[in-house]
Amino acid sequence: MIKILKIYFMHILGVIGFASIVLLGVLEFLKSSDKFYMLLPYGTVLIIFNIIYIKLILLSREDYEKKLKEEKEYSQELVKSQKIFLRHAVHETNTPLAVIIANIELFELEFGKHPVLSNINAATKNLYSIYDDLSYLASRDKIRYKKQKILFGDFIQSRVEFFDVVAKQSSISFEFENLCENSTVLINSTKLQRIVDNNITNAIKYTKKYEVVKITLYYNEECCIFEISSNSTIIENPEHIFNEYYRENRVEDGFGVGLNLVKNICDAEDIKIVLDSSPEKTSFKYLFKNEIK
């Protein structure tokens, strides 16, 4: 309200001045109605002046609204162009990443493991995880992600195996325990992968060296719980950790979008999140309520 008053301060003063002059003119007319003809030239000039002033106000407002509309259209065009660029960039990134990973695997099958290739493979898989996040962000408004029955334990195991080389490069190991044998979760595989992959990559990034990342699937009374925990950096502000672009440690790499993306998926799929962080252990629990059978 104050901002609007500042913008239209001169216009408001003009309106007050106009009203005051009209009022004074009426009072003068009532006082000297017999000399009304003498006031006509002044009244005419006053009316013309105020008509011009009101016209200027209208033109000023129209110009302001026009500029506001142009800026809004420009902003919308920028957002649209950004989305198009992101979709094209994501599309063009997929093929070279897939080729790199495939060729590394072929080389290792033929000639065995090599430390340099292991480093390249770990970095490429990290890139692939970022690519998957960007791909989901670029297409989530365009694609309808249909739910499907997924063997929960097998799915988690496959993602643990995928990131095993990344964990080893960071001097970290995985310990996976599946207490939900043959259980299925009803969710889209892309959404489930975003939840699992972001938690695994975050655990690798923040777990202390030579520690174990424990990944567990287990039941409680109502749901099957996916828990990932390790001895890692304590989370100082757990209430902000799921905010978009939030990063507690600015030194670490990352965009700060991963956990926000996870939170949005969990909210949409009615998956409860429980976060516990202490100097000894940080754990993320995801409760798949009424979806596990």
Q: Are 104 and 120 in contact (CB under 8 A)?
A: yes
Proportion of the chain above pLDDT 70, given as a percent = 69
216 pLDDT higher than 90: yes
Per-residue confidence (pLDDT) for residue 241, from 0 to 100? 87
Residue 95's pLDDT band (cuts 50, 70, 90): confident
Q: Label the pairing between strands 148-151 and 282-289.
A: unpaired
Minimal CA–CA distance to 266: which of 201, 203, 194?
A: 194
Instruction: Could you please state the CATH topology (level 3) that the domain comprising 147-289 is classified under.
Output: Heat Shock Protein 90 (3.30.565)
Per-residue confidence (pLDDT) for residue 271, from 0 to 100? 93
Query: What integer is the mean pLDDT of 127-151?
Result: 83
| Cα(192)–Cα(190) distance, integer angstroms | 6
Alpha helices (H) along 141-275:
152-162, 164-169, 189-206, 258-269
Minimal CA–CA distance to 138: which of 185, 200, 94?
A: 94
Q: What is the dihedral of CA 38, 40, 41, 46, to 10 degrees?
A: 130
Question: What pTM was computed for the model?
Answer: 0.68
Minimal CA–CA distance to 287: which of 2, 101, 172, 269?
A: 269
How much is the mean pLDDT over the chain? 79
Residue 55's pLDDT band (cuts 50, 70, 90): low
Minimal CA–CA distance to 162: which of 151, 176, 149, 182?
A: 176
C-alpha distance across the termini of the chain, in Å: 55
| Cα(44)–Cα(52) distance, integer angstroms | 12
Q: Please compute Rg for the chain using Cα positions.
A: 33
Q: Are 282 and 243 in contact (CB under 8 A)?
A: no
